[in-house]
Structure formats: structure tokens, C-alpha cells
Structure 1
Amino acid sequence: MTTIAQVRQAVRPLIQQHSDLASIGRFVMIKPVRHIWRAVFIESTIDPHAFAPRISLSMLIPAKSRGVRGFGQRIFRNIYGPRNIRSSDWDIRQPETIKQMLDMIENEALPKLRTINTFEDYFAFISGFRFPIDYTGHIQYLEVYIPAANGDLELSRKNLERDARILADIKEYRPGFYRALVDGDRFEIARILHEWEAATVTNHKLEKIWERTPFPLEL
């Protein structure tokens, strides 16, 4: 299994070339982080000599635990030709392979990620993915949290009430947010959103590249 130290060594040339990038664990993050992280996550594989990089996008709300890696597609080695079973593996023993990986991150992934600046951008990008079945509910949660963060509490409540499963989940696991949303308490919702963001930042060690900024709800 490739180590974080090997990841940092591999991506160092990319970090040195771009002032808006930072190496955080296995992430290459675009900074500053405001409400949404935009990154490439360098996964390890069962092959101790291989990387498997992929785009990583995630809102900071609700609070994300340490293990969350965000959503995004794999960056395949032979993206311009026929795919094969090893197409996602990048061999750390081959400098030319690592260079190709960094070139593809720079020319394919980063330009896409840099266009994502708002919740609407994030929603549009995520909506185009074909998730495994475990992630099919993600869009429904976004349809609750994004309108709330944007200040459209009526739309947030409407979207929440139309999905019994999402409603039950948020009532049980996000009771403070649920009550504030029902009551139309914009100040409490803003407080909760900032609390969630701060927890995500702490869990993922993003303190040095995070900028605390107001939500559209507060503006």
C-alpha cells in the first residue's frame, strides 16, 4: 500500500508549480477552501506500488468525518485509449508514469475543479454522476441543505417533506437543524452550518487553507 509520504513526494512538483494547491494527507486541495472542498484524492490500492487518483468534491456541510473522501471520477491512466483492468493504477516506480499522472491532474482535473465555486456549481457537477446505489440519496440531501444555505427555507422545507426517508433521517440525526428549518430560524441555521463546517475542517485538518466565510443565507 502506498504511503502518505510517497503521495506527497509524487505530487510535490505539482504543488510547487501552483500557488493555489496544497498537499493535505492524500489530497491535493485547491485553496482557499470556502464551503466546498475541491481536490484530487490519491488512493492506495492492494498493489503496494500503485496509486489510484480521482477527483474529490464535497461540501463541508453537514459535518464530514475523517474517512469521507468526497465524490468524483477516477483518473484513468489510459483515458485516451482502450480501458483495461489496470487502467486506474499508476506505478510509483516509473517516473514517466507519475509525470503523466500529474499532467492529467493538471490538465484534466484541476481546470474542471476550478470552475466549481458555488453550491449551484457543485450541485450541477454532482448531478451528472452515475453513483453506485449507496449514493443515490445524496442528491435528495443536497436539495435540502443547499436551499437552506442559500436562504430559501421554503424550498428546503418543501424538498424535505416530499421524501419520507430523508425527513426521518434528518429529524433523527440533525434535530437542531430540523427544528430551526421548521421554525424558519435563519440565525440558528447559520450557526449550525458554521458549526458543521468547523467540524469538517478539524476532522480533515484543513485549518491552514480554510477561509470562514458567510453563507448566502446570511447575506
Structure 2
Amino acid sequence: MTTAAQMKLLAQSFMGRHTDFVFHRRALVRLPIRHILVSFEFDRSSLPEEIRTKCGASLMCCPPPWSGGGVGHTLDRASGFRDRPNFVAEFTEELERANREVLVRFQTLQDVMDYPPIPFPGSEMDCITRSTLLATLGRFEEAARLLAPWIPGQRGWLETDEGIIRKHYRKGSKAWQRQQKSHDIIAEHLANVEKLHDLMVAGKPRPIAALLHDWEAIGARSHRIERYWEPSPFPFELA
């Protein structure tokens, strides 16, 4: 696995030309950070010389306990083995290109919404992220309609999962604890999504804003970027 220190050294040339980026937890993060996290991320690999790079933008206020979701691209020319001939130059050139052609397009929440769908092997926005993004833009009815069919489906899945755990795992065992922890995390996420959905159906902008601000603070703590995060009003609060 390429270490964070090795990645930071590899990114020095790019950072020297772009002082709005900081190296943070195996990522190059663009400042300032308000409602979206724009970054280059360097995924871990089991091979010591390998680097896997992607870039994109994620929403800061996704429903907890998950605090990520958005759009992104895998950067093939900035991925591979760092001992490959000319890799350092290709890596830096690809960061420059992606910053110039992709990341520059992510300035606001609306920019993320307007970004075209990304085919495999990119990352497309999931239903929950899209509905939360719609909520930040004040499109409450549209967001609620998007969530309406997802919520009962997820609730049904949780009920099925609960039955499987009860049937196949001895309560209190390590395997049961692992399965139950995973189940509880998904249940917590569903409860938060339902809370947002109910507020949007009721058409209550102030409670919606308060909830999204709370989630954004949780997201900042999850990413450990509190010192970089700048709380600010959502677009519908300024309307």
C-alpha cells in the first residue's frame, strides 16, 4: 500500500501550483469547504507501489451515519504503479487536466445537480444523495417523491434482514454482533431519511434547514475537516 506520506510527496508539484488544495487523509481537498467536498482521493491498495486515484464532489450533508455521496471519476492516467517509467509526470499532468476540466465545474450545489450522469467506471449519484441535494436547493416536493418508493422498500429489507439474523445467528455471538451492528447502521440511516422525508412532505423549511445543518456538521466531523469547513446557508434559506 502506498502510504499517505508517499502520496503527499507525489502531489507536491500539483500543490505548489494550486494553493487552494490541502493534503488531508490520503486526499487533496479543495478549499473553501462549504456544502460540497471537492477532492482528489487516493484509495488504498494491497500492493505497495500501486496508486488508485479518483476525483469528484460529494455532498456534506448526507443522512447519517453515512456522510458521503456524490459524483466522481476514476483517473486511469493517475493510477497504476508509481515505479513505472514517467508515472510521476503522467500523474501530475492528469491531476492538472482533471482539475481544469472536471473539478472546476463543481462550485455550487446546483453545479453538482447539473453534472451529467457518469457511466461506469465513474460514480453516479444514488437516490438518497440526489433527494438530499434537491432538498438543499428547496425542491422539497420533488425530493419527497423520489424518496417515497425507496423508504418502504428499505423498511421491508430491514425486516427481512432482522429475520435472517434471528434465524441464523446465535444472539450475543461475535457473528451476531457483526450482523446486528450492520443492521443497526442501516436502520439509523433509514430513520434519518424518513425524518427528512416527513419534514419535506409537511413543507417546513426551517426544520429542514436545521436538520441539514446538523447533518453537515456530522459530515465535517466524519471527514475530520472541521478546521476547513465553513458553515453557510443553504440556497433555499437565501431565497
Shorter-chain TM-score range = 0.7 to 0.9
Structure with bigger helix share is: 2
2:224 matched to which residue of 1? Answer: 205
TM-score relative to the length of structure 2: 0.73
Task: Say whether 1:90 aligns with 2:81.
Answer: yes
1:172 matched to which residue of 2? Answer: 191
Q: Name which of 109, 112, 117 aligns with 2:102.
A: 112
CA RMSD of aligned residues (A): 3.0
The one-letter code matched in structure 1 to 2:228 is I
Q: CA deviation at 1:69?
A: 8.2
Alpha-carbon distance in structure 2 between the residues aligned to 1:141 and 1:17: 36
Task: Say whether 1:39 aligns with 2:35.
Answer: no
Alpha-carbon distance in structure 2 between the residues aligned to 1:181 and 1:201: 24
Percent identical among aligned pairs is 22
- Kindly indicate whether the alpha-carbon contact (under 8 Å) linking 1:30 and 1:37 is maintained by their aligned counterparts in 2: yes
Alpha-carbon distance in structure 2 between the residues aligned to 1:33 and 1:72: 17
Alpha-carbon distance in structure 2 between the residues aligned to 1:206 and 1:63: 17
Distance 1:166 1:212, change over 3 A: farther
Alpha-carbon distance in structure 1 between the residues aligned to 2:151 and 2:129: 15
Q: CA deviation at 1:63?
A: 4.7
2:17 matched to which residue of 1? Answer: 17
Task: Say whether 1:151 aligns with 2:138.
Answer: yes
Distance 1:142 1:69, change over 3 A: closer
Of structures 1 and 2, the larger Rg is shown by: 2
Alpha-carbon distance in structure 2 between the residues aligned to 1:65 and 1:160: 18
Q: Secondary structure at the match of 1:16?
A: helix
The one-letter code matched in structure 2 to 1:111 is E
Q: Secondary structure at the match of 2:53?
A: strand
Q: Name which of 142, 167, 192 aligns with 2:211.
A: 192
Q: CA deviation at 1:166?
A: 6.5
Alpha-carbon distance in structure 1 between the residues aligned to 2:118 and 2:139: 23
Q: CA deviation at 1:130?
A: 3.4
Distance 1:130 1:147, change over 3 A: same
What is the number of equivalent residue pairs in this alignment?
Answer: 206
Q: Name which of 99, 108, 127 aligns with 2:117.
A: 127
Unmatched tracts of structure 1, length 5 or more? 79-87
- Kindly indicate whether the alpha-carbon contact (under 8 Å) linking 1:62 and 1:196 is maintained by their aligned counterparts in 2: yes
Distance 1:70 1:171, change over 3 A: closer
Q: CA deviation at 1:3?
A: 0.9
Distance 1:94 1:162, change over 3 A: closer
Alpha-carbon distance in structure 2 between the residues aligned to 1:10 and 1:89: 13
Q: CA deviation at 1:71?
A: 4.2
Distance 1:17 1:216, change over 3 A: same
